[in-house]
Amino acid sequence: MNRKQIEKIIAAIYKKIKTHAKCFAAGPDAEAIHLLRVEYKKLRALLKAVAFRQQHAKKTGALKKLKKLYHIAGAVRELQLQQQFIATATKNSAKKTRAYLHLLQQEITRLKKIPAPLSAKKIIADSKDKACKVLPAELSISKFVAYFKHQKTIAEALIKAGNISDENIHTIRKILKDFYFTLKVYQKYEAAGAGVHVKKIENYYYGLLKEMGSFCDTSAAIALLKLHLAKQPGIPERQLLQQVKKNWSKEKRQLKKSLVKKLTEEDLPLPY
């Protein structure tokens, strides 16, 4: 893959980030927030692959301010998911959890007033300029392969350590997301004839990441609910929320058991 191709991919990602950030600044659009974060992860993955073992690689700071926007969007998305999870857990009976839902909405409104989403246009433009300044002349297939091996080694080291904690699952998921998004770029530009095999590998990681996402979302929901219950001891629906937390904890244990089994018994495949 030559520099022009890399620039084209990066330009397309930044264009989508700009579109979704505009929607995010205008209102709490759940889909736009989700897509903004997905595009950021694609960009992060590609820039990591580009910088991998690059001699005299410089830290450009391309993602520094953009990362702040990503985290704010993530905090809003976490609260929006909490609203959805609570609605499902209480069978869409808003009256039962009115005070808690109001608290979640207040936090979303507060986060929306933080400067980063409001100045997103400039942040994105500066980030794009910095990212494009350090692109190499090419990103070879051999470098892709070396990068995949490196990511796999890091993930497997955490798995083989024995104690797969919640934090380790989150870290492994982040590593494999970088792997997955880089794999999608690799599939487009890799040598002819191996496309079907690479697609199977891509589908495998898509399924694994979806399962890991369910676990991480449930973990985040429990942590957020614990925090809110501690901060609001007199909340009217406390008893109901305690039961919801108990049910989520049970679901989390089941999800973790399934994940640990998969991660320890299955070898992480490589696309070649």
Q: What's the per-residue H, E or C state across the chain?
A: CEHHHHHHHHHHHHHHHHHHHHHHHHCCCHHHHHHHHHHHHHHHHHHHHHHCCCCCCCCCCCCHHHHHHHHHHHHHHHHHHHHHHHHHHCCCCHHHHHHHHHHHHHHHHHHHCCHHHHCHHHHHHHHHHHHHHCCCCECCHHHHHHHHHHHHHHHHHHHHCCCCCHHHHHHHHHHHHHHHHHHHHHHHHCCCCCHHHHHHHHHHHHHHHHHHHHHHHHHHHHHHHHHHHHHCCCCCCHHHHHHHHHHHHHHHHHHHHHHHHHHHHCCCCCCC
What proportion of the chain, given as a percentage, has pLDDT over 90?
Answer: 49
Phi/psi-derived region of residue 2, left when phi > 0, alpha when psi is between -120 and 50, beta in every other case: beta
pLDDT of residue 116: 58
Which pLDDT does position 120 carry in this prediction? 78
What does the alpha-carbon distance between residue 169 and residue 162 come to, in Å, rounded to a whole number? 12
Q: What is the pLDDT of residues 4-29, one digit of tens each?
A: 888 999 999 999 999 998 888 877 68
Residue 136: left (phi > 0), alpha (psi -120 to 50), or beta? beta
Residue whose tokens read 């794999």: 183
pLDDT at position 159 over 80? yes
pLDDT at 184 over 70: yes
Q: Say whether pLDDT at 56 is over 50.
A: no
Please determine, for residue 171, whether its predicted confidence score (pLDDT) is greater than 90. Answer: yes
pLDDT of 75 above 80? yes
Contact call for residues 172 and 213 (beta carbons, < 8 A): no
Answer whether residue 78 shows pLDDT above 50: yes
Q: What is the mean pLDDT of residues 63-92?
A: 89
pLDDT digits (tens, 9 = 90+) for 85-102: 999 998 867 678 999 999
Higher pLDDT, 112 or 259: 259
Q: What are phi and psi of 2, to 5 degrees?
A: -90, 175
Dihedral pair phi/psi, residue 139, rounded to 5° = -125, 100
Mean pLDDT of all residues belonging to the chain: 87
- For residue 58, the model assigns a pLDDT of 55
Q: For residue 82, what pLDDT band results from cuts at 50, 70 and 90?
A: very high
| Cβ(127)–Cβ(162) below 8 Å | no
How much is the pTM?
0.89
Q: At which residue do the structure tokens 């998305």 appear?
A: 77
Q: Classify the phi-psi angles of 61: left when phi > 0, otherwise alpha if psi is within -120 to 50, otherwise beta.
A: left
What is the pLDDT, as a whole number, of residue 141? 81
> Do 196 and 63 contact (CB within 8 A), yes or no?
no
When computed from its CA atoms, the radius of gyration of the chain, rounded to whole angstroms, is 21
| Tokens linked to 19 | 């579109």
